[in-house]
Amino acid sequence: MKLLFAALAIIIAIIVAPMFMSPSPDNHVGKPVEGLPWQIDVLPDGNSRVFGLTTGKSTLNDARARFGDDGEIAIVAAPDEAGSLELYYRDVTLGAVTAKVIVTAAIAPDILATMRQRTTRTQYMNSNTKKSGLASQDVAIAYAAPIRAIAVIPAINLDEAMIVQRFGAPAERVRASEHTEHFLYPDRGLDVVLDTEGKELLQYVAPRDFARLREPLLTPQGAKQ
């Protein structure tokens, strides 16, 4: 069984790696593939568009239309935190790249707090973080909320060469630990987290809100993540 999983991992790497390294991936009819992680449109109002979704304007319902109905919507919170409203997908195809996707909503703190009081079930994601399902009366409100951020965890492991090849040289690089480093692209609202011991993470926000990603990295606590 271990050999089977190893073989599958190799096959995925062989298929997906060229998508990150080749200059312009094409589909089977020779047209450029759309909806890839590095295809980001920066808009005049300070927002950005990626995967056909516009930060600050598109809603979780738009994300559901884009990625499918099998996403899991919940409030995710660590102890002593208000938490965030998230729509999670285990397996999404982004152009030609397979990934996990987490869409975070922009929602007023008081509305989120009320939703959290009515949650129907709670699960522990790890020793601290909890995931709580929404009450039925809150689902429509949640899906109507605009998108605050999109996080992508590619199935394939990335390296520095792949990141620079596809996203270009970052404006800044911040090392968070011995095995994690952030490649920052503030003009596109993108933070690519390279993790030599785990999975890479791509975080998208509106470029005008990029300080929200960068500033925590400059604190002593952020430098230890």
Q: Pick the closest to residue 75 from 90, 64, 60 (CA basis).
A: 60
Q: Which domain holds residue 198?
A: 2-224
Determine the Cα–Cα distance for residues 211 and 195; give it in Å rounded to an integer.
21
Q: Residue 131's pLDDT is what? A: 92
Determine the Cα–Cα distance for residues 223 and 180; give it in Å rounded to an integer.
10
Q: Residue 221's pLDDT is what? A: 56
Q: Residue 53's pLDDT is what? A: 98
If one counts the domains in the chain, the total is 1
Determine the Cα–Cα distance for residues 188 and 42; give it in Å rounded to an integer.
6
For the beta carbon of residue 177, count every other beta carbon within 10 angstroms.
12
Q: Pick the closest to residue 50 from 170, 152, 145, 169 (CA basis).
A: 152
Residue 225 Cα distances to 93, 125, 186, angstroms: 28, 18, 20
Q: What is the pLDDT along the chain (225 residues), one digit of tens a residue?
A: 444 444 444 444 444 445 455 555 555 555 678 899 999 999 999 999 999 999 999 999 999 999 999 999 999 998 888 899 999 999 999 988 899 999 999 999 999 999 999 998 888 877 688 999 999 999 999 999 999 999 999 999 999 999 999 999 999 999 999 999 999 999 999 999 999 999 999 999 999 999 999 999 987 655 544
Q: Residue 220's pLDDT is what? A: 63
* Residues facing residue 43 across a β-bridge: none
- pTM, entire model: 0.84
